[in-house]
């Protein structure tokens, strides 16, 4: 491989020097030099062999390209396979991010055992833990597989040689920020190191058909650390969500070239690692309080999966000139908007009241179908009355107080029926769904939030 040449460029005037300088000799600016990597020229031998960037293909017509689908490799984890789009794709590269301690390494160590048990060769490379530390965690999780191989190393030169030599079916890099290329002078975790190391591994994955998983660190804002181009380079970007002190973890795909980005995987952290939750809706509602105002159940849809989630609202008198507003698991600005709609359209005096919204279980709701449930939970707490336990509430609320139609109503109501719910407040504009499931549930179609509040008090 050609040696990478490192230079430093002034971000103010563009002056290039071979070594870092505190002050630019051309424009006089201080601390403006940034490291840049000069792409080496491809030799004639590399052009013939195609080893520099992979195999050089000839352009073909669309009709000449085979549409045969690749056989996916199952992880033996239903929730992980769901998020990946059906399993691991040969030659695919995935990036897994999440807060420290949320379970990224635990999930990948379990996946290592599951894949290796299917007679596939797996190579787990850790730059953060020693082989003894990995062994100790495997013992805690009762993992006994001897089919996988583990390596504690950060030198990218040796890692590339090992991957090309061993030719495993799956490679796990934990984490990409700890890998170090000695041909680049910057420290591990820098923009140049992450970009070049990821690019080198992706070239190997695409050429040799090796599936790879990268673990990525996150910043304090929750974004993946390093250059944004890293997310563009990989095929799949996965995010772990949830508080590390909660038992449940949510796995989402924010980018997936091989499947949908709307799917959600739900796991439970146990002493044996992360286990898939078989009945998420029932699990989320198992501790729902009785005879309490401000609690309502809303059916949401994540990808193809309907979920029943408990939404709690609290309204109390404020001792401050500016009342507090707080939302956990729900968009704060959306909550402020809904409170304003209730004040304007229903005449409620919320200016001297604190308002709080909480989504139970650590789940975050982004779809507008939960708008009406938020309004009903706050209205229930404001007037101190209990919402019937067998009632669901769904609907999007507009600025004029109207309740607008939503999608996949039949899936939501079917899931509610399985768990014993018999009534539902929903938009009147969803007439087709009402006709389909109207005989199995008692439905209250509404046009605005005033009608919805009236339906809440029906016994």
**Residues making up the binding site:** 98-105
Name the nearest CA neighbour of 261 among 291, 287, 231. Answer: 231
CB 317 within 8 A of CB 350: no
What strands, in cross-sheet order, belong to the sheet with 248-256? 148-152, 122-126, 170-174, 211-216, 93-97, 236-241, 248-256, 264-270, 273-276
CB 415 within 8 A of CB 299: yes
Give the separation between CA 388 and CA 425, rounded to whole angstroms: 11
Q: Can you say which residues are annotated as belonging to the binding site for ATP?
A: 98-105
Q: Which two tokens stand for residue 419?
A: 């768990």
For 179, list phi and psi in degrees, rounded to 5.
-70, 145
Cα distances from 171 to residues 20, 166, 174, 282, 388, in angstroms, run 35, 10, 10, 36, 52
Q: What is the DSSP string of 384-404?
A: T-PPPTTEEE--EE-TTSBEE
For 350, list phi and psi in degrees, rounded to 5.
-100, 5
Burial 391-417, CB ≥16 within 10 A → b, else e: bbbbbbbeeebbbbbbebbeebbbbbe
Q: Which two tokens stand for residue 10?
A: 């002034």
């Amino acid at each position: 491989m050609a040696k990478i040449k490192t230079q430093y460029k002034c971000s103010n005037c563009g002056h290039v020097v071979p070594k870092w300088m505190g002050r630019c000799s051309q424009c006089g600016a201080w601390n403006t030099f940034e490291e840049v990597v000069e792409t080496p020229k491809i030799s004639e031998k590399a052009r013939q062999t195609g080893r520099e960037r992979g195999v050089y293909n000839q352009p073909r017509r669309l009709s000449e390209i085979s549409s045969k689908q690749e056989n996916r490799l199952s992880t033996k984890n239903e929730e992980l396979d769901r998020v990946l789009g059906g399993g691991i794709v040969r030659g695919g590269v995935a990036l897994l991010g999440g807060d420290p301690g949320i379970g990224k390494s635990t999930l990948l160590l379990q996946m290592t055992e599951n894949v290796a048990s299917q007679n596939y060769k797996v190579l787990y490379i850790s730059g953060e833990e020693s082989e003894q530390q990995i062994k100790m965690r495997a013992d805690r999780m009762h993992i006994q597989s001897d089919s996988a191989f583990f390596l504690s190393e950060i030198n990218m030169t040796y890692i590339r040689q090992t991957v090309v030599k061993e030719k495993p079916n799956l490679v796990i890099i934990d984490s990409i920020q700890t890998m170090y290329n000695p041909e680049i002078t910057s420290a591990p975790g820098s923009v140049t190191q992450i970009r070049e190391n990821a690019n080198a591994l992706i070239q190997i994955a695409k050429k040799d058909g090796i599936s790879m998983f990268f673990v990525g660190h996150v910043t304090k804002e929750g974004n993946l650390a390093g250059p944004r181009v890293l997310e563009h380079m990989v095929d799949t970007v996965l995010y772990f969500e949830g508080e590390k002190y909660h038992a449940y973890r949510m796995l989402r795909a924010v980018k997936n070239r091989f499947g949908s980005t709307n799917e959600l995987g739900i796991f439970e952290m146990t002493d044996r690692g992360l286990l898939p939750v078989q009945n998420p809706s029932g699990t989320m509602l198992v501790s729902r309080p009785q005879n309490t105002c401000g609690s309502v159940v809303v059916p949401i849809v994540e990808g193809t999966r309907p979920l029943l989630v408990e939404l709690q609202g609290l309204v109390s008198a404020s001792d401050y000139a500016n009342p507090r507003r707080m939302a956990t698991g729900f968009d704060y600005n959306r909550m402020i908007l809904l409170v304003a709609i209730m004040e304007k359209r229903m005449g409620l005096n919320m200016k001297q009241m604190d308002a709080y919204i909480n989504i139970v279980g650590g789940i975050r709701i982004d779809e507008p179908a939960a708008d009406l449930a938020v309004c009903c939970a706050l209205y229930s707490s404001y007037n101190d009355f209990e919402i019937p336990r067998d009632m669901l509430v769904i609907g999007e609320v507009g600025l004029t107080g109207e309740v607008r139609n939503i999608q996949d109503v039949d899936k939501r109501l079917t899931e509610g029926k399985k768990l014993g719910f018999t009534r539902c407040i929903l938009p009147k504009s969803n007439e087709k769904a009402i006709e389909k499931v109207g005989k199995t549930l008692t439905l209250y179609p509404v046009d605005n939030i005033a009608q919805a509040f009236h339906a809440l008090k029906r016994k």
